[in-house]
Structure 1
Amino acid sequence: MTRTDPPFAGRTVQAVFFDIGGPIYDDENFATAVLAALDDLLAEQGRPPADRARFRAVYDGVRAAQSGSLRRALAAEFLGDERRRDDLHARTRRYWRHGPGTLHPDVLPCLRALHGRVRIGALANQEADVLDALRRDGVAPFIQVWAVSALVGHEKPDPALFEWAVKEAGTSPANAVHVGNRLDTDVRPARALGLGTVWVLRGEAPPEPTAEQLAEPDVALPDLRTLPRLLLGTRPGDGDRRA
């Protein structure tokens, strides 16, 4: 799924920022939390839990479109008013955790290969307690820039979050790359500021992206195994034979 020309030719990569849900942790953590929150709100209305097939259809529709808020779409579909998105957002916080065993296995080998060669950042819309999971799973020691929405006060796709991360990394957009799994909140805002872009095709990425979607990032990858080589010319196994 990569392009034939070197995706970052001419770009001196000094900083790499990772979205958390999708690239680092299984995005089902988020989907499960939203579904539990939705069931809560339905129960408060005296209604049964959300139909799982309908829920998945809405979720997959947002994934395919690569635009729009999942919680807004679910609020419209199940709660009858898209304005209840804020209620669903607030209730989701109660359940949203990245539990043990949900870290993707290619994450630590990738970070080890990049460590010491670039500044590594987390750039994501997440709650503050995501730091606990990242510490537990051995990711936190590799992170030098914490551009987490709950900590910084900006949310993707607001360019302010990307600008904050670039400044904190002490570099420029031309020398930075963002790794995410959505076009609307990751690839497009990063590209608009001049960052390199990597689209990881898992989680909230569509299962069958279109040719037009694949043309938007600098490179689209199924996982993180080849990312160090693409960014820096390193072998994905550098620093860890399991990569």
Structure 2
Amino acid sequence: MTRPPFADRIVEAVFFDVGGPIYDDENFVSAVLAALDDLRAEQGREPVDWASFRAVYDAVRIAQSGSLRRALAAEFLGDERRRDELHERTRHHWQHPAGSLYADVLPCLRELHGQVRVGVLANQEATVVDALRRDGLAPFIDVWGVSALVGFEKPEPALFEWALKQAGTTPATTVHVGNRLDTDVRPARRLGLGTVWVLRGEAAPEPTTEQLAEPDVAVPDLRGLPRLLLGDGRRQRAEAERP
């Protein structure tokens, strides 16, 4: 019988990426497309061809490495060095509109609430805080690790370390939930956090066996995640506290 992925880990904190696990990544797709079209219009060029855009986007998803904005700048603006310019223009379009919250998020956070410290740990603009409050998630979030507010971005260790300090936990007692290997799973694993790969949004559309072996566990969505994270952890904590 296969042991549960977190059977040997007492989980005290869970950090969530935002795009993919919490909100639909198509919000970012819409924003970066609008930004590309703005910049191309300034060059007197036509809007980006949708099929060509998806080809670049999916190539980065399949590889699970490399900067998407750099690849888009190279392909559609003619110079990968315009990546920062594209990033800045994308910020003005990037929103998480009502209705783009995944239906399994609130039930998951409600079940985790009071059992662990919950944080968001994401490369996002400050406006994401307003969206999370609007959609009723704020009462369940203890740590607001938003890159635009904290000043660090994944995969930098500094953002993970900041969140751990805020949560008052260690890597050994913390799990990170994200949908990319390069900015979520790999940097979290290097620091010793447990890892959950959510296979939606910017995750690889057809993960390889090698990719699936990188996280502690890969899941299609957040349904059942609290049980997966805490089922054995609760038992171990109770045993540890016995006189």
Q: Which of 224, 229, 232 is the matching residue for 1:231?
A: 229
3-state DSSP of counterpart to 1:105: coil
Letter in 2 for 1:159: P
5+ unaligned residues in a row in structure 2: which ranges?
A: 233-243
Q: Which residue of 1 aligns with 2:146?
A: 148
5 Å matches for 1:125-140? 125-140=123-138
* 2:59 paired with 1:61: yes
CA distance in 2, matches of 1:158, 1:104: 27
Gapped runs of 5+ residues in structure 1? Answer: 235-243
Q: Which amino acid aligns with 1:113?
A: E
Q: Residues of 1 paired with 2:77 and 2:97: CA distance?
A: 28
Matched, 1:116 2:96: no
Partner of 2:190: 192
CA RMSD after TM alignment: 1.0
Residue 93 (structure 2) pairs with residue 99 (structure 1)? no
Amino acid corresponding to residue 25 of structure 1 in structure 2: Y
Match of 1:8 among 6, 9, 32: 6
Please report how far the alpha carbon of residue 206 of structure 1 lies from its aligned counterpart in structure 2 after TM superposition.
1.2
Partner Cα distance (1:125, 1:63) in 2 = 17
In the alignment, which of 199, 204, 207 is matched to residue 206 of structure 1?
A: 204
1:79-94 maps to which residues of 2 (within 5 A)? 79-94=77-92
Question: What letter is aligned with 2:70?
Answer: R
Out of 65, 72, 75, the position equivalent to 2:73 is 75
| Residue identity in the other structure for 2:205 | P
Q: Which AA in structure 1 matches 2:225?
A: L
Q: How far apart are residue 163 of structure 1 and its match? A: 0.6
Cα separation, 2, equivalents of 1:50 and 1:220: 33
**1:209-220 to 2 correspondences below 5 Å:** 209-220=207-218
Q: Please give the alpha-carbon distance, in whole angstroms, between the structure 1 residues aligned to 2:2 and 2:51.
A: 39
How far apart are the structure 2 equivalents of 1:225 and 1:4? 20
Compute the displacement of 1:4 (Å): 3.5
Amino acid at match of 2:103: P
Deviations 1:118-139 (A, max 9, x none): 0000000000110000000001
| Identity, % of aligned positions | 80
| Amino acid paired to 1:15 | A
Q: How far off is 1:233 after superposition? A: 1.5
Deviation at 1:10, TM superposition (A): 1.3
C-alpha distance in 2 between matches for 1:144 and 1:136 = 16
Deviation at 1:207, TM superposition (A): 1.2
C-alpha displacement at 1:141, in angstroms?
A: 1.1
Q: CA deviation at 1:11?
A: 0.7
CA offset digits 1:2-42 (Å, max 9, x no partner): x9421011111000000000000000000110000000000
CA distance in 2, matches of 1:197, 1:10: 13
More helix by share: 2
Q: Which amino acid is 1:188 matched to? A: R
Partner in structure 2 of residue 237 of structure 1: none
